[in-house]
């Protein structure tokens, strides 16, 4: 008898765990379109830039820049032209005043076609002041220019554990005149970099030493991002005294009290749940052309070949917020993610070296909004004794009011020099009451306790829309760096 | 969510698991008939062997040694062509995957290892299917199956390769392979080689020894077969008493290949090897219908020191040069090398870290396989021949006086010169630009290009350096070479020990200073020009 019960529970639990993160209905709202790459060519995207005239530029891990025309068309009619080659693993591409700015391993370059024959002929070094010592992990991910014209570059550690060459493990800004401005320490192994709608810069870092899980991190100038080996370059950074070295086998919430420069991850993307290897970042600044998630961030994963959605808020001077599943089923593992003003989300995939779901070695794909609004959690706000949820469509108020609709648990990770961490310190908050807005568009969930520093995991399994349909994705993971006073 | 997790784990233990993965053999398994050691290849998401052969019903143990930085397992399946389907079922385990070692409950699974974390070894014990035929094995960790899979061939046919292999060892001092049949063997040094792989160290002899291997080569099907033989020093292979391939004489590890048409079935195999002293090696691999580079020697055939990558040969076109930026071998610690291959078979690499021309070579340009397959770890040397490293350290410097030492690089980088980039002409030939002379900000354009012709033996690389300075930079020198004895030749050229000859055209005469050749740079109307022509063997 007991056996049967356990087995039944197990089956139900498994089904829920798998189904609640991915939805077979994603295509109704956000279909994926694949852009064919040229026959015989290996196009492993590392950077995507948008050009006038509905053209696209793709910088690749093999060091080429391709121009693509016809990729926006329905169905796509892609025409690929190789613009430049010979660069060293492109992981950032932006176009400005007739030049491509390229982040690749050895430097930030700018590249131009000076004689108008369609091929690059000038390759200028903008900044090559960081070190490389021949380790394949020494990647350089570069942003588009910020409002001051600086490009932010996050420099992966040597072998992803140590900083064996100058400025490894740092975020530096490259000014328009080529100056390198050390900006943040503590970087481990970045997968992407990008701005939010307010011009704040973020990057993704991958599970590993001092990173219990992959996460989205806020590059607040002067901040420390978690991995202390980068401190060896601090004296030359112009950022003042070297911070206190954090203790291993601790918790982020503890160590940030000791290391005053420590800015904890804005949003942790729980390992094994939403991905293994966070990568590209794109912000919806399309003014509604990509749906109702304006100003939210989209964060991709190189291993799971998916895109998640992040809503952030500022509490107690720190960025924090929730991640929700968004779209699964791309053909290869994402590195660059780029939002076009017309509401096309561009996705560049490469499985080389680390394997990825999807089955293709590389791909260029796009996501467009069909115009139909999915029933989803829209925003999630921390409150002194719980969270407020808003919805994209009116929910059935009775299902919101039902305490059993809300499954909650909370956990965190060990902050340590060892690789990764299991989920630890589990807490099971109890929903004490739910205040439901009469229009069914929001609900205020009161919990018996909140745990600072914990990821609060919600599954809104019982919430239904007015037609009785469940949420497209019912999972939310909120990284509670600070508990708001009101 | 958290609450149900405990019952799920219990349930999965009750319903799955234990039959499928364990690090001890199943009870009563006994001694395996066959033991394989499979390694995962660092940074490549591959097993080092994708084809294993066993007899029907054999008891098999596979040890999976994980040398990669990601966790892997190895799951043996009951059929072929299903590895992706089963793996996808494993991935659907989601958060339950780790507890089950990512092995799904599925009738098509024979057995699997536990997850092997980086550096760990795990094993799987199983009995091979009773019927002849192929079945899959695969890593079911999410995302790996597409490339990380292989075939277990269940067959009663003789295994392709050598068997009945024996050796006889000899002591002696030779410069070529002797006729061993006339010589006396070394003591009792003769034996069977149990793993049927050629092993020149089997008799544990060093410095002046010979080995003769006799055995039978089982050929799986009628067809053309290629034998790649490499050794240090000489070796030779006979099949049915005919020489198929040889690399005789004293030399570093050198490889040659021979092709032969062979009928299905057993053939008489013989190989001979000698060491004249010092370094030793012998590798033999064969390729044929349906298989490539299978080792017949214990020492594995290796391309590019250690790991094997498919070749991705970069080459100029008939009219256009090719550029490659990547981590290069023989670059003496510089990591920003910009390599150029010009039409006609001459190549060079400019060193962005030290602002110098760093390497010259002839023949093929560059094999990008190492960097463009897998994660791209490691340095890769030039593909061609006559690789000539040039002097380390920036090529230009302002000296306080004529006796001042040449500035040394700091952390491998130039201290008074800054790289600015390069421009390509219509044929893709680069001209490098940089500033030098520290604060004086002298602008340099540096254009190396081929001169003469490789097929006429007149090949050279001519480098034209043009400098512009707003104000006189003091004692600016170009250092053409340093670190090897250099002598002026009657014809006006300079010979550098190690096979390099320099011809310099400049306003001021070059000066030999110890082992350095310095060219004073003289500006006229703010401009200076010099050319350097490099010839080398």
| A451-471 mean pLDDT | 97
Is the complex ipTM more than 0.85? yes
- The percentage of chain B sitting over the pLDDT mark of 90, rounded to a whole number, equals 59
Q: Which two tokens stand for residue A391?
A: 């919805």
User: How far is B38 from B32, CA to CA, in rounded Å?
Assistant: 16
For residue A352, what pLDDT is reported? 93
Q: Which residues from chain B sit within 8 angstroms of residue A428, using beta carbons? A: 2-3
Residue found by looking up tokens 């020492």 in the block:
B299
Encoded tokens for B134: 């192929």
Is residue A9 predicted with pLDDT exceeding 90? no
CB pairs under 8 A between A and B: 150
C-alpha span between B434 and A48 (Å, rounded): 30
On whether the CB atoms of residues A109 and A92 are closer than 8 A, the answer is no
Say which of B11, B336, B379 has its CB closest to residue A106: B336
Tell me the pLDDT band of A10, cut-offs 50, 70 and 90: very low
Distances (CA, A) of A35 to A64, B110, B157: 18, 39, 47
Chain A contact set for B98 (CB, 8 A):
272
Please determine, for residue B490, whether its predicted confidence score (pLDDT) is greater than 70: yes
Q: What is the pLDDT of residue B256?
A: 84
Distance of alpha carbon B182 from alpha carbon B175, whole angstroms: 17
Q: CA geometry: angle at B455 spanning B454 and B456, to 5°? A: 90
Predicted TM-score (pTM) above 0.80:
no
pLDDT digits (tens, 9 = 90+) for B136-158: 999 999 888 988 999 998 888 77
How many Å apart are CA A415 and CA A426, to the nearest integer? 15
Per-residue model confidence as pLDDT tens digits over A98-130: 999 999 999 999 999 999 999 999 999 999 999
- For residue A6, give every residue at least 6 positions away whose Cβ sits within 8 Å of its Cβ, in sequence order, or none: B7, B10, B11, B14
The per-residue pLDDT for B25 is 86
What pLDDT is recorded for position B206?
A: 85
pLDDT tens across B5-63, in order? 333 333 333 333 333 344 788 888 888 888 888 999 877 788 988 888 888 999 999 99
Q: Residue B86 pLDDT > 50, yes or no?
A: yes
Contact B170, B186 (CB under 8 A): yes
Report pLDDT for A390: 98
CA-CA distance, B216 to B196, in Å (whole number)?
10
pLDDT of residue B463: 98
CA A248-A254-A260 angle, 5° bins: 95
Cα B110 to the center of its chain, rounded Å: 36
Residue that the structure tokens 């000698």 belong to: B274
Categorize the per-residue pLDDT at B304 as very low, low, confident or very high, splitting at 50, 70 and 90.
very low
Q: Which pair of tokens denotes residue A321?
A: 């917020």
Distance CA A258, CA B533 (A): 62
Residue B507 corresponds to which tokens in the numbers above? 């306003």
Q: What's the rounded mean pLDDT across residues B512-529?
A: 96
Give, in order, the Cα–Cα distances in Å from B305 to each of B56, B199, B269, B308, B381.
37, 19, 28, 8, 10
Question: Mutation test of the interface with chain A: which of B3, B68, B93, B325, choosing the one with the most A Cβ atoms within 10 A?
Answer: B325
Residue B9 is predicted with a pLDDT of 35
Q: Do B8 and A18 touch (CB under 8 A)?
A: no
Residues of A in contact with B374 (CB under 8 A): 352-353
Chain centroid, CA A449 distance in Å: 29
A351 interfaces chain B, CB cutoff of 8 Å: yes
Q: Quick one: what percent of chain A has pLDDT higher than 70?
A: 96
Q: How far apart are CA A376 and CA A471, in angstroms?
A: 5
CB-CB under 8 Å, B3 with A359: no
In this complex, which of B3, B11, B322 lies closest to A428 when CB atoms are compared?
Answer: B3
Please, which residues 253-312 of chain A have a Cβ atom closer than 8 Å to chain B?
272-273, 276, 303-304
| Helix ranges restricted to H, B80-172 | 83-91
Beta strands in A135-285 (DSSP E): 140-142, 151-155, 171-174, 180-184, 190-195, 201-205, 215-218, 267-268, 278-283
Residue B51: per-residue pLDDT: 80
Separation of alpha carbons A334 and B512, rounded Å: 57
Number of H helices, E strands in chain B: 3, 38
Neighbouring CB atoms inside 10 A of B310's CB total 10
pLDDT score of B455: 82
Does residue A329 belong to the interface with chain B, where contact is any CB pair within 8 Å?
Answer: no
H or E element at residue A21: helix A2-21
CA A454 to CA A251: how far, in whole Å?
10
Q: HEC states along B329-355?
A: CCCCCCCCEEEEEECCCEEEEEECCCC
Give the mean model confidence (pLDDT) for residues B494-504. 95
Q: Please, are residues B73 and B116 in contact by the beta-carbon 8 Å criterion?
A: yes
Tens digits of residue pLDDT in A137-162: 999 999 999 999 999 999 999 887 89
With beta carbons under 8 A apart, name residues in chain B contacting A276: 142-143
Give the model's confidence band at B276: pLDDT under 50 very low, under 70 low, under 90 confident, else very high. confident
Q: Is the dihedral of CA A193, A197, A199, A201 positive or negative?
A: negative
pLDDT at A2 over 80: no
pLDDT given at position A399: 97
Burial status of residue A252 (CB atoms within 10 A of its CB: 0-12, 13-18, 19 or more): buried
What is the pLDDT at residue A247?
Answer: 97
Is it the case that residue A4 has pLDDT exceeding 70? no
How large is the average pLDDT for residues A57-62?
A: 98
- Backbone φ, ψ for residue B320 (5° rounding): -115, 135
| Residue B482 confidence class, pLDDT cut points 50, 70, 90 | very high
Q: Label residue B188 by pLDDT band (50, 70, 90).
A: low
- Chosen from A42, A82, A88 to mutate, greatest number of chain B CBs within 10 A: A88
pLDDT at B192: 81
Are A418 and A408 in contact, with CB atoms under 8 Å apart? no
Interface membership of A128 toward B (CB under 8 Å): yes
Residue A313 CB-half CA count within 13 A: 18
Q: Does the structure show a pLDDT above 60 at A8?
A: no
Beta bridge partners of A123: A111, B422
Question: Has residue B345 got a pLDDT over 70?
Answer: yes
Q: Tell if the CB–CB gap between B3 and A133 is shorter than 8 Å.
A: no
Average pLDDT of A302-320?
A: 97
Write down the pLDDT at residue B35.
87
In the numeric block, the tokens 């030492």 are attached to B405
Q: Measure Cα distances from A109 to A102, A242, A282 in Å.
A: 5, 30, 23
User: In the predicted model, is pLDDT for residue A297 greater than 70?
Assistant: yes
Q: Which band of pLDDT confidence, cut at 50, 70 and 90, is reported for residue B443? A: very high
Residue A233: φ, ψ to 5°: -100, 5
C-alpha span between A315 and A388 (Å, rounded) = 14
Chain B positions in Cβ-Cβ contact with residue A351 (cut-off 8 Å): 143, 146-147
Range from B98-102, B303-307, B450-454 carrying the lowest mean pLDDT:
B303-307
CB B366 within 8 A of CB B341: yes
- Helix H or strand E segment including B448: strand B442-451
């Amino acid at each position: 008898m007991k056996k049967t019960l356990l087995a039944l529970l197990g089956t139900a639990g498994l089904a829920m765990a798998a189904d609640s993160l991915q939805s077979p209905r994603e295509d109704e709202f956000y279909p994926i379109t694949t852009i064919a790459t040229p026959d015989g060519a290996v196009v492993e995207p590392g950077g995507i830039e948008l050009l006038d005239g509905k053209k696209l530029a793709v910088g690749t891990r093999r060091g080429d820049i391709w121009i693509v025309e016809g990729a926006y068309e329905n169905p796509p009619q892609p025409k690929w032209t190789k613009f430049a080659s010979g660069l060293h693993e492109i992981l950032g591409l932006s176009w400005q005043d007739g030049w491509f700015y390229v982040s690749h391993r050895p430097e930030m370059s700018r590249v131009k076609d000076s004689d108008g024959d369609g091929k690059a002929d000038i390759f200028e070094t903008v900044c090559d002041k960081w070190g490389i010592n021949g380790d394949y992990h020494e990647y350089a991910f570069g942003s588009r220019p910020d409002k001051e014209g600086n490009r932010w570059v996050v420099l992966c550690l040597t072998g992803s554990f140590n900083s064996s060459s100058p400025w490894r493990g740092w975020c530096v800004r490259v000014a328009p005149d080529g100056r390198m401005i050390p900006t943040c320490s503590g970087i481990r192994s970045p997968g992407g970099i990008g701005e939010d709608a307010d011009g704040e810069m973020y990057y993704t870092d991958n599970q590993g030493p001092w990173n219990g899980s992959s996460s989205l991190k806020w590059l607040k100038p002067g901040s420390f991002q978690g991995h202390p080996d980068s401190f060896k370059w601090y004296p030359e950074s112009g950022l003042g005294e070297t911070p206190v070295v954090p203790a291993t086998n601790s918790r982020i919430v503890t160590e940030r009290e000791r290391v005053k420069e420590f800015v904890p991850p804005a949003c942790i993307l729980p390992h094994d749940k939403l991905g293994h290897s966070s990568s590209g970042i794109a912000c919806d600044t399309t003014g509604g052309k990509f749906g109702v998630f304006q100003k939210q961030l989209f964060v991709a994963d190189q291993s799971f070949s998916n895109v998640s959605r992040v809503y952030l808020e500022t509490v107690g001077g720190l960025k924090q917020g929730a991640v929700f599943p968004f779209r699964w089923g791309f053909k290869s593992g994402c590195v660059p993610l780029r939002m076009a003003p017309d509401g096309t989300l561009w996705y560049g995939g490469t499985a080389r070296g680390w394997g990825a779901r999807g089955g293709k070695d590389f791909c260029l794909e796009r996501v467009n909004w069909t115009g139909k609004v999915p029933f989803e959690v829209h925003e999630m706000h921390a409150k002194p004794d719980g969270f407020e949820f808003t919805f994209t469509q009116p929910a059935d108020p009775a299902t919101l009011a039902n305490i059993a609709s809300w499954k909650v648990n909370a956990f965190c990770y060990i902050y340590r020099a060892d690789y990764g961490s299991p989920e630890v310190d589990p807490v099971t908050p109890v929903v004490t009451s739910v205040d439901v807005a009469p229009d069914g568009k929001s609900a205020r969930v009161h919990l018996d306790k909140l745990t600072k520093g914990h990821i609060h995991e919600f599954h809104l399994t019982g919430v239904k829309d007015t037609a009785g349909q469940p949420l497209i994705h019912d999972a939310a993971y909120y990284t509670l760096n600070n508990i708001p006073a009101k | 969510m958290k609450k149900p997790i405990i019952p799920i784990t219990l349930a999965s233990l009750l319903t799955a698991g234990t039959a499928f993965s364990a690090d001890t053999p199943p009870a009563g398994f006994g001694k395996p008939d066959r033991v394989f050691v499979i390694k995962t290849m660092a940074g490549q998401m591959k097993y080092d062997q994708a084809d294993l052969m066993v007899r029907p019903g054999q008891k098999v143990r596979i040890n999976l040694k994980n040398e990669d930085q990601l966790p892997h397992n190895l799951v043996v399946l009951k059929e072929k062509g299903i590895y992706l389907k089963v793996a996808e079922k494993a991935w659907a385990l989601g958060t339950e995957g780790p507890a089950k070692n990512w092995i799904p409950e599925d009738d098509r699974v024979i057995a699997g290892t536990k997850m092997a974390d980086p550096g760990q070894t795990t094993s799987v014990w199983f009995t091979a299917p009773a019927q002849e035929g192929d079945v899959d094995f695969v890593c079911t960790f999410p995302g790996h199956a597409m490339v990380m899979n292989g075939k277990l061939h269940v067959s009663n046919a003789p295994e392709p390769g050598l068997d009945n292999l024996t050796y006889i060892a000899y002591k002696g001092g030779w410069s070529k392979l002797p006729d061993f049949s006339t010589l006396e063997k070394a003591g009792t040094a003769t034996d069977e080689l149990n793993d049927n792989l050629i092993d020149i160290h089997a008799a544990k002899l060093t410095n002046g020894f010979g080995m003769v291997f006799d055995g039978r080569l089982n050929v799986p099907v009628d067809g053309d077969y290629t034998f790649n033989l490499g050794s240090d020093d000489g070796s030779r292979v006979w099949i049915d008493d005919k020489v198929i391939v040889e690399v005789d004489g004293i030399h570093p590890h050198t490889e040659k290949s021979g092709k032969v048409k062979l009928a299905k079935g057993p053939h008489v195999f013989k190989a001979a090897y000698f060491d004249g002293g010092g370094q030793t090696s012998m590798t033999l691999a064969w390729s044929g219908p349906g298989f490539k580079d299978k080792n017949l020697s214990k020492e594995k055939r290796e391309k590019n020191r250690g790991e094997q990558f498919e070749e991705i040969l970069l080459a100029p076109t008939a009219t256009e040069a090719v550029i490659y930026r990547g981590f290069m071998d023989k670059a003496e610690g510089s990591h920003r090398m910009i390599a150029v291959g010009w039409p006609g078979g001459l190549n060079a690499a400019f060193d962005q870290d030290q602002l110098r021309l760093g390497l010259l070579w002839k023949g093929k340009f560059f094999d990008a396989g190492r960097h463009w397959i897998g994660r791209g770890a490691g340095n890769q040397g030039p593909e061609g021949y006559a690789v000539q490293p040039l002097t380390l350290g920036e090529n230009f410097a302002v000296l306080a006086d004529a006796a001042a030492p040449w500035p040394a690089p700091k952390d491998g980088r130039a201290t008074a010169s800054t790289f600015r980039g390069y421009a390509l002409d219509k044929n893709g030939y680069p001209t490098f630009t940089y500033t030098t002379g520290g604060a004086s900000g002298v602008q340099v354009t540096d254009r190396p290009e081929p001169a003469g012709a490789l097929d006429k033996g007149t090949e050279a690389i001519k480098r034209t350096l043009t400098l512009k300075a707003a104000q006189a930079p003091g004692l600016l020198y170009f250092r053409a070479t340093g670190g090897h004895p250099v002598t002026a030749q009657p014809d006006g050229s300079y010979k550098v020990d190690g096979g390099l000859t320099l011809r310099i055209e400049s306003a001021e005469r070059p000066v030999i200073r110890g082992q350095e050749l310095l060219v004073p740079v003289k500006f006229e109307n703010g401009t200076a020009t010099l050319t350097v022509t490099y010839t080398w063997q």
